[in-house]
Amino acid sequence: MGLGAKALGQAVLELRDVRKRFGDREALRGVSVSIGEGEFLGLVGPNGAGKTTLIRVSLGLLRRDSGDVRLFGRDPFLDPTARESVGVIFERPSLPATMPVIELLRRAARIYGVPESDVREAVKLAGLEGHESRPFGQLSAGLKQRAAIAHALVASPKFLVADEPTSNLDPVERASVLETLSRLKKERGVTILLSSHVLSEVLRVVDRIVVIKQGSVVAQGAPDEVIGSIKVARVRAPDPQALAKALIGRGLNAEAGVQEVTVRLRGPDDERALLLALADAVSSGIRYYGIDLVEPGLEELLREVS
């Protein structure tokens, strides 16, 4: 066992055939993933897919059953110094609630022996200006997450691991946290691993995406490669059940929602078939308001790749 140094290349993190079991539950079933220097990788999967387990094993916080893990070329479980250049952001950041953010950051700066100018830089990069003097506990969930990012940044990490950092946030806050991560990659060249169960938000910011389901990688590649061939149409209709039935009757893969019918299009033939089926539906009295072509969600992607 063991990875030769030659095989590692410039990977910041490399997992090969990693397995992890909790009792009779296999959380990771032979996962191989690598992240190159400066890369922004999205790890996407539904709840319970194994994202957190993969992250904990990658950081050496959890012992794998088999397979190889190298973080900056070292086994993080045997050699915790491999984590020295890694910043970690969790779903619910926990920092002392009563301490003003700026004091938290200064305290971290003293620990890491970095100058005050780095604290100001971290505040700026995390978009925290104007909120620095507020106690951490009084910040909104989104600002708390950005304070956690600033806190991690004070140590100048080369690799930032963010485990579902947006899952607790509203859409505006989600966008601002993702924007912050994106800026870190572009302006600082930080390598980033972002896990999420929301495919659409990850697609917008990452270079590459790894899709995980029940402990196995089911797809990986650039966002376009992974979702390129999957098209989804949402047809808004007053009676989605009736419309879905008519479309299914024409061989389409349609599913009724509350206000719309979701149709998975498997190619240009399906697109033509949808338009013809809608025309037929209208002539038999089933109405629709409009069609939107949308990005596939995680569910649609998983149906396609598993």
Ligand X SMILES: Nc1ncnc2c1ncn2[C@@H]1O[C@H](COP(=O)(O)OP(=O)(O)OP(=O)(O)O)[C@@H](O)[C@H]1O
* Interface residue list for ligand X (CB under 6 A): 22, 25, 27, 45, 47-53, 197
Q: Which is nearer to ligand X, 85 or 167 (CB)?
A: 167
Say which residues have a Cβ less than 8 Å from residue 156's Cβ, sequence separation at least 6: 112, 114, 118
- Helix or strand holding residue 236 (H, E): strand 231-236
Sign of CA dihedral 282, 288, 293, 296: negative
Radius of gyration of the chain (CA): 23
The closest of 184, 183, 164 to 174, measured between CA atoms, is 164
Residue 207 beta carbon to ligand X: minimum distance, rounded to whole angstroms: 21
44: helix, coil or strand? strand
Q: Checking phi first, is residue 283 left (phi over 0); if not, alpha (psi -120 to 50) or beta?
A: alpha
Residue 163 beta carbon to ligand X: minimum distance, rounded to whole angstroms: 7
Residue 65 beta carbon to ligand X: minimum distance, rounded to whole angstroms: 13
Residue 49 beta carbon to ligand X: minimum distance, rounded to whole angstroms: 4
Q: Which is nearer to ligand X, 52 or 200 (CB)?
A: 52
Q: Which is nearer to ligand X, 50 or 223 (CB)?
A: 50
Q: Which is nearer to ligand X, 53 or 58 (CB)?
A: 53
Q: Tell me the sheet residues that pair with 236.
A: 260, 290
Dist. CA 130–CA 133, nearest whole Å: 8
Residue 22 beta carbon to ligand X: minimum distance, rounded to whole angstroms: 3
Q: Which is nearer to ligand X, 42 or 240 (CB)?
A: 42
Q: Which is nearer to ligand X, 53 or 180 (CB)?
A: 53
The first and second tokens of residue 199, run together, are 């495919």
Residue 214 beta carbon to ligand X: minimum distance, rounded to whole angstroms: 8
